A = this chain, B = another copy of it.
Amino acid sequence: MVSGLALVIRGQFGDNGSMPRTVAAASLAVLLGATWRTPAGGTSRSAALADALRGLVVDGRVAPGTRLPSERDLAAELGVSRGSVSRAFQRLEEAGYLIARRGAGSTVTLPAGARPAEPPGPAREGELDLSVAALPAPDPLLAEAAARAVTALARHLPGLGYAPAGLPELREALAARMTARGLPTTADEVLVTAGAQHGLRLVIDLLVGPGDRVLVDAPGYPRTLAAIRAARGRPVPVPLGERSWDADGWAGAARVAAPRLAVTVPDFQHPTGIVMRAADREAIALTCARAGTVLVSDEACVELRLDGPALPPPLGAYDPGGTVVTVGSMSKAAWGGVRIGWVRATARVIRELTTVRGAIDMAGPVLDQLVGVELSHNWDAVIASRRTLLHERRSALFTALAEHAPAWTVRRPHGGTSAGARLPTPDATRLAAAAASTGLLLSPGPAFSVDGTFEHHIRLPYTLPPETLHDAVARLAQLARELGTETRATSPSSGDAAAAVI
């Protein structure tokens, strides 16, 4: 194989007349938002447009392999000159984000050295990565679990190594843990997956086809949107309320969209950190049951409570019957390098998901599952070690914010791994681009939206060491001041701003 991708691209993009992956000019205009129209001093309109397009690619909102609209169509849609669009495309091509082919339009790609959306690899030398919300492994608990797992492995080596639904002992352990958390579960109601994302993807592959609507939190987890789009479903955003979910909004969306599936993160929602009230759990589960909508509850962070009131019972506990499917993970609560998650559903659905898995990755690794078993034996200690770290780092983040970014509105979450910050001006994408150019990576609000909204917001994980977090916030606040985001306020800050920033 030589260097060229020419034939791959040709195969991919419709020389044969079949359906290419495209983004229409109107959709792209929505995703682009309006920030690029008022570039910072010294930046041309076409450079700002190129930056905005690059932001969409880097955030995963426009997938590699997508064909862009023609320069002419996009210019007409945006109401700018074709020359501006043409110069923007040329910039992107030079930077390695576009492949232009005469007569076949421009296709989005990733240049050498580009980092896909979270989670990328380990931070590079000199990089400060606020785009990942992940902790180092619990020491020495993980190393000990791995050592015990190797001992337990001996018993499995004479077998064939395939357990598509998961090792029985791990299914038992996960079921027991869910039962203890208030969600009575048997082992045959558990499928072991390679993480919560993998579990969600299996459910989507089982239930969602082209054009099917899926309700999602707005803002919500970017990879949820990516998984829905991979199945060619249509995510339908339901805006979150200020302190919980908007149950009436859910009822209305379910009525209008007739969704096949809905996905929510009820405990320390990502990226806002809020918790769904018990009454909203009950109402939303009932709404979905009535609409015939399967409701996926993503519990990746449920065990990372740090303070505040006790959590309501799991969303699955409000299930009137066969509506709620729960996904969870050790990869967030223990360590990202252990790829163990689960789906909890009826035994019948678990069997169907196991078959779906056969067309994806067949089965999970035995050794990693044995690590999961060993971790589960010591789970309280694992969680305690995570909480200690997160407590300390959350404090560091909020101390730094109070010192360096007093104008930002940030509510201190009671658990999970990150907080959402509201900037005084809708400049999140611009701030993220400026930060990236200095080696500071950041997820801007639009990365968490279906439609490019949330430009006032950035996500701030508190997973880096305290001194690193302090440094990152100081640099970010300085960049924001340079961009003028502190002085061009376009919307009033919310009522509880002062109280929220501690």
Q: Within 8 Å CB of A205, what residues of B?
A: 230
The 8 Å CB contact of A8, one of B119, B160, B294, B338, is: B294
Known: A143-B154, A197-B360. Contact between A212 and B18, CB under 8 A?
yes
CB distance from A497 to the nearest CB of B (A): 32
- Knowing A143-B154, A324-B1, A361-B194, the reply to whether A135 touches B160 (Cβ < 8 A) is yes
Return chain B residues, CB-CB under 8 Å to A163.
121-122
Interface check A261, CB cutoff 8 A? yes
Does A164 lie at the interface of the complex (its beta carbon under 8 Å from any beta carbon of B)?
Answer: yes
For A356, what are the chain B residues with a Cβ–Cβ distance below 8 Å? Answer: 63, 230
Residues on B with beta carbons closer than 8 Å to the beta carbon of A499: none
Question: Are A157 and B142 in contact, CB atoms less than 8 angstroms apart?
Answer: yes
State whether A117 touches B21 (Cβ < 8 A): no
Which residues of B are found within 8 Å of A212, using beta-carbon distances? 18-19
Say yes or no: is A426 at the interface (Cβ < 8 Å to chain B).
no
Per-residue contact bits, chain A 123-167, to B (CB 8 Å; 1 contact, 0 not): 000000000101111010011001101100110111111111100
A293 at the interface (CB under 8 A from B): yes
We find that the number of chain A residues with CB closer than 8 angstroms to chain B is 124
Please give, as numbers and ranges, the residues of chain B lying within 8 Å of A121 by CB-CB distance.
Answer: 162-165
- Quick check: B258 and A162 within 8 Å, CB to CB? no
Q: Does A210 contact B (CB under 8 A)?
A: yes
A143 CA / B201 CA spacing, docked (Å): 32
Task: Report A357-377 CB contacts with B as 1/0, cut-off 8 Å.
Answer: 011111111111001000000
Which residue of B is nearest A371, CB measured?
B367
Are A8 and B223 interface neighbours, CB within 8 A?
Answer: no
Chain B residues near A64: list those with CB within 8 A.
351-352, 355
Given known pairs A3-B346, A18-B260, the reply for A210 and B232 (CB within 8 Å) is: yes
The answer, among B3, B146, B366, for a CB contact under 8 Å with A153, is B146
What CA separation (Å) do A434 and B20 show in the bound complex?
46
Task: Return A285 CB to nearest CB of chain B, in Å.
Answer: 10
Tell me the bound Cα distance from A51 to B44 in angstroms: 69
CB of A327 within 8 Å of the partner chain = no
The answer to whether B362 and A119 have CB atoms under 8 Å apart is yes
Across the interface, A362 reaches (CB within 8 A) one of B146, B156, B195, B348, namely B195
Distance in Å: Cβ of A303 to nearest Cβ of chain B:
18
Cβ of A227 within 8 Å of any chain B Cβ, yes or no, is yes
Q: Give per-residue flags for A175-197: 1 if the beta carbon is below 8 A from chain B beta carbons, else 0.
A: 00000000000001100011101
Return A445 CB to nearest CB of chain B, in Å.
19
In the complex formed, the residue of B with least CB distance to A141 is B157
Most buried by B among A142, A147, A360: A360
A150→B213 CA distance, assembly (Å): 44
- Stretch of A84-92, A108-116, A452-460, A470-478 at the chain-chain interface: A108-116
CB-contact partner of A258 in B4, B18, B60, under 8 A: B18
A119 to B207 Cα, complex, angstroms: 23
Q: Is the CB of A336 within 8 A of B322?
A: no
Verify B132–A316 contact, CB threshold 8 A.
no
> How far is A387 from B11 in the complex, measured between Cα atoms in Å?
38
Q: Is B119 in contact with A162, judged by CB distance below 8 angstroms?
A: yes
B-side contacts of A352, CB under 8 Å: 64-65, 109-110
Q: Does A251 contact B (CB under 8 A)?
A: no
In the bound complex, what is the Cα–Cα distance between A206 and B195 (angstroms)? 21
Task: Say yes or no: B346 contacts A363, CB within 8 Å.
Answer: no
Q: How long is the Cα–Cα vector from A88 to B258 in the complex, in angstroms?
A: 34
Is A339 an interface residue when CB atoms closer than 8 A count as contact?
yes
Are B122 and A292 in contact, with the CB atoms below 8 A? no
Chain B residues positioned under 8 Å from A482 (CB to CB): none
Contact across chains for A223 and B358 when beta carbons are under 8 A apart: yes
Give A188's nearest chain B residue, CB to CB.
B112
B361, A198: Cβ atoms closer than 8 Å = yes
Give the contacts of A387-444 with B (CB-CB under 8 A).
none
Distance of A258 Cα from B363 Cα, bound (Å): 33
A142 / chain B contacts, CB cutoff of 8 Å: 153, 157
Closest to A123 in B: B160
Binary contact readout A48-89 vs B (1 if CB under 8 angstroms, 0 otherwise) = 000000000000100111000000000000000000000000
Q: Which residues of A contact B (CB under 8 A)?
A: 1-8, 10-12, 15-21, 60, 63-65, 109-110, 112, 114, 116-117, 119-122, 132, 134-137, 139, 142-143, 146-147, 149-150, 153-154, 156-165, 188-189, 193-195, 197-198, 201, 205-207, 209-213, 223, 226-227, 229-230, 232, 258-261, 289, 291-294, 316, 319, 321-325, 331, 335-340, 344-349, 351-352, 354-356, 358-368, 371
17 A-B pairs within 8 Å (CB atoms) are namely A7-B322, A21-B209, A65-B352, A116-B351, A119-B363, A135-B160, A137-B157, A139-B157, A139-B158, A160-B337, A194-B364, A201-B359, A210-B232, A227-B360, A229-B359, A230-B359, A339-B365
